Structure 1
Amino acid sequence: MASNPAVGNDSIATSEATGHQVAIPPRETNEKHPGIEQYSKGDDGLAVGDVEKGTADSTSSNSDEDGQKKRGFYKRFRHIINGFIFFVMTGWWIVSLVLHRHDKNWVIPFLLWLAITLRLITLYIPVKYIMKPAKLVWDNTAGRVRNMIPEPFRIPAAATLAIAVIIVGSFVSAESADNTRENRAISLFGLIVLIFVMWATSRNRRAINWHTVIVGMLTQFIIALFVLRTGVGYDIFNFISTLARELLGFADQGVIFLTADSVADLHWFLTGVMPPIIFFVALVQLLFHWGLVQWFIGKFAAFFFWTMRVSGAEAVVAAASPFIGQGESAMLIKPFVAYCTKAEIHQIMCSGFATIAGSVLVAYIGLGVNPQALVSSCVMSIPASLALSHMRYPEEEETLTGGKVVIPESPASEKPINSLHAFANGAWLGLKIAGMIVSTLLCIIALLGLVNGLLTWWGRYLDLTGDYDLTIELILGYVCYPIAFLLGVPRGDLLKVGRLIGIKIVANEFVGYTQLIALIKKEPDLSPRTILIATYSLCGFGNIGSLGTQIGVLSQIAPGRAGDVSKLAFSALVTGILSTLSSASIAGLLVQNQAAFSQSAS
């Protein structure tokens, strides 16, 4: 990717590499956002994993200390505190390994200790020094192999490798009753059709960055392979889903305090789903105040930035969307939205449509949806959204964040005073989100009832009664029938899954999951493969209602780009929906025993 031209007095410059006009913020705008002008690459570019925040935080211990000025207690005693944390966690890990190596899972404690230890190390040693040995190993292994291949043949070779990995990973395992090789072949064919549709409808096929597409699809498959076929991957995601389920129990304690023990056992939406949403949003806001959310998102974004060669803005939003939601993820790059290219705006919206947010994730688990499928689908859809968006709307302009991963620091006026203030703000935000979900569901379900009533009345004069009452679900079921087939759904359940996909697009995924749970209760013998693919297919904000949300949020952040946002919104919506469906197709390829997967995750 070409380097950005220098920022001058003119707001428009021409890229020497592409000949396209490049939107560059004028100097007075940079003075308003001083962090923008200071985001620049060093002599050898940004070190892998480094994330610049605010006014270009350094990775040295000195800059780390400067970043904690407002936390006087930590600043004075940070060495003692960090040492205490390290020795406590190390002692806990060693004791747990000695006492419970054979009767408890040792992988999760080790990974938790390793993550905390690495974070403490990076507080004192710049990440670039840690990554230099890894880069040296890469350059002398995979890098040498890559350099041996002539430039014109590198993309075809990478595509061949990706296809081989997907075919071998999909078909080498033994068949099971609900996952035969015939079913896998249909799911693979559906994935090929999906990619072909993105290529055929691309805005400019010649501008497609095939490196981003190949690495994105391969990363999506490898993540699925890691989660669904390996013990370690299964344990990690099962641990995450278990933590998410336990949040429901913590919220129940608050419900019991406010009402009575019997109320928590009623399993009403108001008492079983809303309280976990409020608590989870408050907890996320507290972690955000401590800087943990930004740090995690930054590292996650750096991985996609360096592997897939996308811009920093795209990487940050894509990595943040499954954790904080479609509107909030765009707020992380608020100073840059006004200067994003059209392809970046398309990608920002696509990432929001392709996944769900952590707040509603807890709500779906409360309904009884498989938590491990939800978590893995969100992670799988990140590289898928990057790959498919770059196929549908390739980058043809010069990007302002093309050489860095940046999470600007929030303005001082918007920061909570302390942790209690952050938690209280989060509780209020969670209440608003839960209230919005409840009111939206009430109105949408009532509206669907009204439309179905009118359609059923009209259909009676055409003798459409009984199991084939004319309803919007029936119409959408037949419209989405081919989609369900291409995902590899068993033949007898195609219309059922088609209905769910259609209602998710027209209404929202919440209504879709509600109907899925009702269908499972109504038909206990429903195929486990059907349940699995339907769960993955619904796991995204890709619906007409979210279209308005995305347009509204981005138009408020960058009023001058409202026209571009509106023009690109529908294309991004379709691409986001297809990104979610690609995860469902890959899940159909890899899960060998859907019944066991669903039972173990319940």
Structure 2
Amino acid sequence: MVHHAMSIVGFIIFAGISWLLSSNRRNVAWKTITSGIALQFLIGLIIFRLPVSYRILIWLNDAVVALLNASKAGSVFLFGPLAASPGEQGSIGFILMFQVLPVVIFFSAVTSMLYHLRVLQIFVRLFAKLFHRTMKISGAESLSSAANIFLGIESALVVRPYLERMTRSELMLILTTGLATVASSSLGVYVAFLTPVFPQVAGHMLSASILAIPASVVAAKLLVPETETPETLAAVPPDDESERSKNLISALIQGAMEGLKLAAGISALLIAILGVVALLDKLLGALGSLFGMSEPLSIVRILSWFFYPFAYLLGLQSSDVPTAARLLGERVILTEVVSYNHLAQLITSGQINDPRTVVILTYALCGFAHVAAVAIFVGGTAVLAPSRRDDLASLGLRALLAATLATLMTGSVAGIFSSGQQVLLR
């Protein structure tokens, strides 16, 4: 109970930080904030405490795992034993390039086909109406936020006709929801890492993306309150069909090509970021040795110090706090791909063996809240709305802060309601 109480305290503090750093505390729409908080707690209650929800999570998890297994057909055909995961026949060990990144291409293709068939739109509009009616955000914000549950940067396309005329607060929320959630095409990467040690992870990640939307609304609307009247305040706008593929085969091809770009982008970012961080770590290590530090100084180590109190406020066991702080710090600079990979390794090695800790970290790490993603989302959205480039650029780091606080709030909600009893670790 003590740890659950700390999760509540953490949630309050994370929301409080958003308010303290607000650009205009006098204009905060408290009905939106309280509705967003209430919706988070309601979703958390449904996810973790309703027996039927557990069965739904298992069903969703099995569906994602089935897709994950299906994705191996193409990669095994192309790469042979290189694509075989550890433990499978012919495997020569774990190789991210051949065993994980092909999943991105497959999931992107499937998502594109579901979008063409208007299957995704059904769920997007349902969630959009829910967010619009409960939190009183604009229709365009609701639609973009709902799309972020399933899509990545391309979620901005669903509100493309309105981007140029959006208020600054609306742009802030669009960036925040993008950074605080994960795309379905990337979801397969994290599931591939964690399923061997956390079999139900896929269902929880889908839940985390849903939970992240009201959390993003709370953080974004506290940091940058609405001071204007949004154009789509009255209703959720209709779907923009201009980006829809002409037929199913075209959708599959387009999705696969987009997935290839994403996989290449992930590879490029990992190579560049890990290399630059390694270089900076050498410089910091040399600096630390001048001052006689017993352990080498590094960027991740510095960030782990910064995130230590935040990890503590998530309500984790004391022994897990330093490790969690390091994972949170890694996410900001090295991306969530590295953090989830390390989380899987920590579970495998037994360094993290508390199921509740695993659930909390799964939710708290579930988002593109890192430096590289800011450039991707700001740049990608600016292409769609060139006249708002300066506004988007000025909101980038603030959106990263909001997304980080939002993911911490989702982790806190998981900590409040999860006991870890229904979580199996292998």
Coarse TM-score class (shorter-chain normalised): over 0.9
Q: Deviations over 1:326-347 (max 9, x none)?
A: x211111101000001111111
Aligned: 1:363 with 2:192: no
Greater Rg by CA? 1
Partner of 1:393: 224
SS at match of 1:406: coil
* Shift in Å, 1:525: 5.4
> Does the Cα contact within 8 Å between 2:219 and 2:402 map onto a contact in 1?
yes
SS at match of 1:356: coil
Q: 2:20 aligns with which of 200, 209, 228?
A: 200
Partner of 2:263: 434
In structure 2, what is the Cα distance between the partners aligned to 1:212 and 1:237?
A: 28
> Unmatched 5+ residue regions in structure 1?
1-180
* Shift in Å, 1:397: 0.8
* Shift in Å, 1:492: 2.1
* Shift in Å, 1:351: 0.7
In structure 1, what is the Cα distance between the partners aligned to 2:216 and 2:79?
A: 43
Q: Which amino acid aligns with 2:113?
A: L
More displaced stretch, 194-203 vs 183-192:
194-203
Partner of 2:156: 330
> Does the Cα contact within 8 Å between 2:194 and 2:341 map onto a contact in 1?
no
Give me the CA root mean square deviation: 1.8
Partner of 1:210: 30
In structure 2, what is the Cα distance between the partners aligned to 1:587 and 1:301?
A: 23
> Unmatched 5+ residue regions in structure 2?
86-90, 196-200
Partner of 2:373: 546
Share of identical aligned residues, percent? 32
* Shift in Å, 1:205: 2.5
In structure 1, what is the Cα distance between the partners aligned to 2:206 and 2:118?
A: 22
> Does the Cα contact within 8 Å between 1:184 and 1:488 map onto a contact in 2?
yes
What TM-score comes out, normalization by structure 1 length? 0.66
SS at match of 2:23: coil
In structure 2, what is the Cα distance between the partners aligned to 1:317 and 1:432?
A: 22
Q: Which amino acid aligns with 2:259?
A: G
Aligned: 1:418 with 2:247: yes
Partner of 1:240: 60
* Shift in Å, 1:230: 1.5
In structure 2, what is the Cα distance between the partners aligned to 1:437 and 1:478?
A: 27
Alignment of 1:215-234 (within 5 A): 215-234=35-54
Q: 1:254 aligns with which of 70, 74, 80?
A: 74
SS at match of 1:541: coil
Q: Which amino acid aligns with 1:221?
A: F
> Does the Cα contact within 8 Å between 1:350 and 1:575 map onto a contact in 2?
yes
* Shift in Å, 1:228: 1.0
Q: Deviations over 1:179-205 (max 9, x none)?
A: xx1111111111111122222222223
- Cα 1:478–1:343 shift into 2, 3 Å: same
> Does the Cα contact within 8 Å between 1:298 and 1:407 map onto a contact in 2?
no
- Cα 1:290–1:373 shift into 2, 3 Å: closer
Q: 2:394 aligns with which of 554, 563, 567?
A: 567
In structure 2, what is the Cα distance between the partners aligned to 1:518 and 1:456?
A: 25
Q: 1:409 aligns with which of 236, 240, 252?
A: 240
> Does the Cα contact within 8 Å between 1:226 and 1:234 map onto a contact in 2?
no
In structure 2, what is the Cα distance between the partners aligned to 1:207 and 1:525?
A: 43
Q: 1:454 aligns with which of 279, 283, 304?
A: 283
More displaced stretch, 304-313 vs 247-256:
247-256
Q: Which amino acid aligns with 2:249?
A: L
Q: 2:139 aligns with which of 289, 302, 312?
A: 312
Question: Which structure has more RCO (C-alpha within 8 Å, separation ≥ 6)?
Answer: 2
In structure 2, what is the Cα distance between the partners aligned to 1:332 and 1:279?
A: 22
> Does the Cα contact within 8 Å between 1:313 and 1:405 map onto a contact in 2?
yes
* Shift in Å, 1:302: 0.9
SS at match of 1:324: coil
Partner of 2:404: 577
Aligned: 1:381 with 2:191: no
In structure 1, what is the Cα distance between the partners aligned to 2:83 and 2:245?
A: 34
Q: 2:10 aligns with which of 187, 190, 202?
A: 190
* Shift in Å, 1:473: 2.0
Aligned: 1:272 with 2:99: yes
In structure 1, what is the Cα distance between the partners aligned to 2:352 and 2:11?
A: 27
In structure 2, what is the Cα distance between the partners aligned to 1:236 and 1:360?
A: 21
Q: Deviations over 1:86-144 (max 9, x none)?
A: xxxxxxxxxxxxxxxxxxxxxxxxxxxxxxxxxxxxxxxxxxxxxxxxxxxxxxxxxxx
In structure 2, what is the Cα distance between the partners aligned to 1:590 and 1:484?
A: 17
In structure 2, what is the Cα distance between the partners aligned to 1:540 and 1:361?
A: 10
In structure 2, what is the Cα distance between the partners aligned to 1:416 and 1:334?
A: 16
* Shift in Å, 1:563: 1.4
* Shift in Å, 1:584: 0.3
In structure 2, what is the Cα distance between the partners aligned to 1:269 and 1:512?
A: 14
SS at match of 2:241: coil
In structure 1, what is the Cα distance between the partners aligned to 2:79 and 2:390?
A: 49
- Cα 1:525–1:501 shift into 2, 3 Å: closer
Q: Deviations over 1:132-171 (max 9, x none)?
A: xxxxxxxxxxxxxxxxxxxxxxxxxxxxxxxxxxxxxxxx
Partner of 1:23: none
Q: Deviations over 1:63-102 (max 9, x none)?
A: xxxxxxxxxxxxxxxxxxxxxxxxxxxxxxxxxxxxxxxx
> Does the Cα contact within 8 Å between 2:316 and 2:357 map onto a contact in 1?
yes
Aligned: 1:502 with 2:329: yes
More displaced stretch, 249-258 vs 211-220:
249-258
In structure 1, what is the Cα distance between the partners aligned to 2:114 and 2:367?
A: 24
Higher helix share: 2
Alignment of 1:90-105 (within 5 A): none
* Shift in Å, 1:461: 3.6
Q: Which amino acid aligns with 2:13?
A: V
Partner of 2:88: none
> Does the Cα contact within 8 Å between 2:107 and 2:185 map onto a contact in 1?
yes
- Cα 1:239–1:402 shift into 2, 3 Å: same
- Cα 1:563–1:589 shift into 2, 3 Å: same
In structure 1, what is the Cα distance between the partners aligned to 2:54 and 2:337?
A: 26
Q: Which amino acid aligns with 2:358?
A: I
Partner of 1:288: 115
Following superposition, which runs of at least 4 residues in structure 1 exceed 4 angstroms of deviation?
Answer: none
* Shift in Å, 1:522: 3.4
- Cα 1:316–1:476 shift into 2, 3 Å: same
